[in-house]
Structure 1
């Protein structure tokens, strides 16, 4: 059994994939448009170019993504965050700033009692993130 994360971007999947490629080096492994599916005729004309399914990689993890279905817009993400750990505070601060550009800072990038760097944000696509330093002198965080 394998648990997979599947994100729906309400028609903005391609922009989200480009944003994650630019900000965190995500690599798109697979992308299928609605027009390329065996059931393309069931899709409204203005959604033919939208992303039916994509797989992208961040580090050693794969994430699944889609534009969703026209008329079935998600109401946003709640009850979870994508958590990404970096090796040093400089990388974490840079990543936090990049992901929060156009989004919303929930907890500003800061030192905490458990790590030298941590922050929470919602990116411009509504995806919640936690960015933290994983290894840098974990025994003496602050």
Structure 2
């Protein structure tokens, strides 16, 4: 794997506020992508286009990532944090996807995404939520 795993937080419409707070606390560079600025904006209801589709805060090796739930249900204990794995190869992401999805629940099939990476989301057999990404 490339870097250490990163937490990925989900917020209920206040991602921008939360990540700005964390930037003030931890420092670093904050990038925010609202749905309206995403190539996938047509897949979302117009009333949530101001929500944050993806945010990242990076300061050296420290990184937090986040988004608003973006119409994918309510934020509640259990779905507000995921662990993101940045994979180094297609073989690695395929292997991790197969192993972690066995006996679990696939939330987003492993597939090519608009940002040029293979990506998947799942809940493993132990209830842990995972995201995996391989940027080609």
TM-score, with length taken from structure 1: 0.47
TM-score, with length taken from structure 2: 0.49
Bigger proportion of residues as strand: 2
Q: Relative contact order: is structure 1 or structure 2 higher (C-alpha 8 Å, sep ≥ 6)?
A: 2
